[in-house]
Structure 1
Amino acid sequence: MSLTTILFVAFIAVVSIQAGYYLCFLFSFAIKSSEKKLKHNLPLSVIICAKNEEENLKESLPTIINQKYGNFEIVLVNDSSSDNTLEVMKEFQSKHENISLVDVKVNEAFWGNKKYALTLGIKAAKNDFLVFTDADCTPVSEDWLANISGHFSNSKSIVLGYGAYSKKSYSLLNKLIRFETLMTALQYFSYTKLGIPYMGVGRNMAYRKELFFNNSGFKEHMHIKSGDDDLFINEVATSQNTAICYTKDSFTISQPKASFLDWFNQKRRHISTAKLYKPKHKFLLGLFYFSQIMFWIIALLCFIFINNWLILVLFLSRILILIVCTGLTSSKLNERDLIVFTPLLDLFLVISQLFIFIANLISKPKHWN
């Protein structure tokens, strides 16, 4: 079999795999309308774990305090901060009766482990329904809690939301970060719709306290410093107990990294936990990312060595499916400005993920500090 034949067959296979994935994403999530459910009286505990976040807390806490919601508390967890985070928390606590504070001291056995601090915050929460966000996140509306809590039910004990990043004009890095966030959301929302939930993001998610303790909390992966959100969800989420919330009033928004290196290191930490996912999730996600990389590599080789119009048809077909799928998702998640850049961002993201994978093979990424 000649090299050109091998390349042609391989390209057909890769495009078929990619088309299959994106069509599954398209029909499970991208074309579905969001379902708005509001509850205002379900007792909630909003848990925010912060380490050296004094400035971010000053900006984000008022947006949470001012939620139009009837029954909620805010549990602030100071994770051994070295700045004035604790003082900022105490100041807010003195002014608002529904704020409680957990001050986590240095613990040699759990040094630098956010899961230890979060566990103490969860124990301190008065309510069974817990909502999680980060110190640098702000809800986009005063109905954030009402939207999230509306998806809890007798059967649904986990709610996965969307944590967006703020937009910055004329910044390719900003678009790349938001595109990666968009693609991640497309996948975990779609997988949940398909009955195989595998992760959530700590910037915007919720679950029941009862679920946490019935599954021994973070015990199975306490030794892993990252993964307080995705590893826990990967462990406990099922097709029956997990709901998704993507109404536009349910989003949170935070500031993205300002340099490529900072974002690169952040993604190294995030991706390092994927090796601990359930086997079926690792297979599905691995096949998707591998087919993404091979699509661009084999496409380049085919354009160089094969003079056949079918190559261009296959290439453009995959790009069109990608644009349609991400375009519909962008409209749902308020990221429409990314649509026109989709092919370029897809290529940049694939290259970045390849280098992240190589970097993680060489050395371990740094964690919560």
Structure 2
Amino acid sequence: MVLGGVAILLALLSPIVNALILKLKVGKSDIDGSSLPVNDVSLPGISVVMTVDDEGEDLKKNLPQWLDQSYGGKYQVIVVVSGNDPQVESILKRYSGSPSLYTTFIPSSSRYMSRKKLAVTIGVKAARYDWVLLTDVDCYPEKATFLDSISRRSISGDCQMVLGYSNFSSDAPSARLFDNTYSLYRQLALSQRGRTAGYSGKVVLFRKSMFIEGKGYDGNLKYTRGEFEFLANKFSTESNTLVFASPDAMVIEDTPSHKGWTNKCLNYLAIRKTLRNSRLPRFTFNLGIVSMLSANILLTALIACSAIARMWILCGCAVFALLLSFVLRTVILSVRLRPYLHGMSFVKLWWLEQTLPFRNCMRLLKYRFADKYDFISHKL
């Protein structure tokens, strides 16, 4: 009876020691637009900044959706070109007549720092408006009212930064979709509590003046990527940052290839130790994973041992405890993540969380044997 009680207690405690225990608060106004200003003139001007290298197909697909935003205020789209793709040049010429489009370039000889961060910095400095929305060329707004929706969060109080929500489309491989959502949910929930450690999304709204006065990416130019992570981590505070995370108003990121997804994960592993406030989130995540695996192993072993010893009451308690643990975990996953995962089935949610530690281990192994110079500017 004692062992049976311990098994059930373990089943109850294990799901609670979970990286998703913090709730991401999504207010009603995020969804129904009830807080949208009555007078559209009060909406701030926004400069949307995106950088493009040899990504003509992405630009062709996504640029029109940014130019066609139904926004009550003034806005512009700044495209910073850092490559020599003829398709990119052709697309920009096609839309050159749009009053909302502004194009600029970075010199091909710029090799002494992250070209991506240099491109972002040039785009921010070229911005006509104080509010800058940084996104990527492989992203597009889910709705034509996206700028309207996110801007309502930027005009209140002392807000200097808004962290938005981005995710892959529903046709993305389930594991990538789950892992990206799992990470971003935890990061945004921490940001709402003033502990921004990282940000794997691709839509940040911030004040140009804050970026310029804070010297932009100064302090982390060594790393070739991480332009969103470093921006959020450096400038976000409890008093100046809001989170806009409505499942009904987000930016959709084109599904990355296997190589692109792997590179994104490896680049994060390269920079994560440099991010402030990152130790506690990593500790709680690892604690939750260890708790989940330990409960699974111990309860499975208890079932096997009690069955061999023909202790059927204990065996029944252990089976019940294991099922209870699975159910509680699935409920937490469903409440927290399912709205952002296109209604993914409960069984798939549970399975993807159970296998998450193994996918993380594979990434750590790849990073362990990767050439670390691939993640930094060699000249710095």
When normalised by structure 2's length, the TM-score is 0.82
Seq. identity, %:
18
Distance 1:31 1:217, change over 3 A: closer
Partner residue of 2:266 out of 251, 265, 268? 268
Distance in structure 2 (CA, Å) of the matches to 1:228 and 1:31: 25
Task: For residues 205-263 of structure 1, give each alpha carbon's deviation from its aligned partner in whole angstroms, at most 9, with x where no partner exists.
Answer: 2111111122210001011112111122112211111111123442011221343x542
- Which structure has the larger Rg? 2
Gaps of 5+ in 2: 307-313
- Are 2:20 and 1:29 equivalent residues in the alignment? no
Comparing 294-303 with 234-243, greater Cα deviation is found at: 294-303
Deviation at 1:62, TM superposition (A): 1.0
AA in 2 matched with 1:77: V
Distance 1:221 1:321, change over 3 A: farther
Residues in 1 aligned to 2:217 and 2:289: alpha-carbon distance in whole angstroms? 32
Q: Specify the alignment match of 2:224 in structure 1.
A: 225
Which among 59, 77, 88 is matched to residue 74 of structure 1? 77
- Structure 2 contact 15–328 (Cα < 8 Å) conserved: no
Where in structure 2 are the equivalents of 1:82-231 lying within 5 Å? 82-92=85-95, 94-110=96-112, 113-152=115-154, 153-168=156-171, 174-201=173-200, 203-231=202-230
SS, match of residue 145 in structure 1: helix
- For residues 262 and 345 of structure 2, what CA distance do their matches in structure 1 show? 20
C-alpha distance in structure 2 between counterparts of 1:277 and 1:315, whole Å: 37
Q: Give the AA of the match of 1:187.
A: R
Instruction: Tell me which of 267, 275, 288 is aligned to 1:277.
Output: 275
1:357 aligns with 2:370: no
User: Aligned pair 1:62/2:29, yes or no?
Assistant: no
Structure-2 separation of matches of 1:50 and 1:229: 15
Mapped contact 1:45–1:126 kept (Cα < 8 A): yes
Residue 287 of structure 2 corresponds to residue 299 of structure 1: no
Q: CA deviation at 1:48?
A: 0.8
Aligned 8 A contact 1:68 1:143 in 2? yes
Deviation at 1:199, TM superposition (A): 3.0
Given that residues 296 and 322 in structure 2 are in contact (C-alpha distance below 8 angstroms), is that contact kept between their aligned partners in structure 1?
yes
In structure 2, relative to structure 1, the CA distance for the partners of 1:262 and 1:115 (3 Å cut) is: closer
Provide the rounded CA distance (Å) in 1 between the counterparts of 2:26 and 2:120. Answer: 36
Instruction: Quote the RMSD (CA, aligned, Å).
Output: 3.0
For the residue of structure 2 that corresponds to 1:160, the secondary structure is strand
What is aligned with 2:36?
A: 38
Q: Is the 8 A contact 1:63 1:139 kept in 2?
A: yes
Name the CA distance, whole Å, in 1 between partners of 2:216 and 2:165: 23
Cα drift, residue 184 of structure 1: 1.6
Per mean C-alpha deviation after superposition, the further-off stretch among 330-339 and 130-139 is: 330-339
2:321 and 2:256 map into 1 onto residues whose CA distance is 36
Change (3 A) 1:334 1:271: same
Question: How many residues are paired up?
Answer: 352
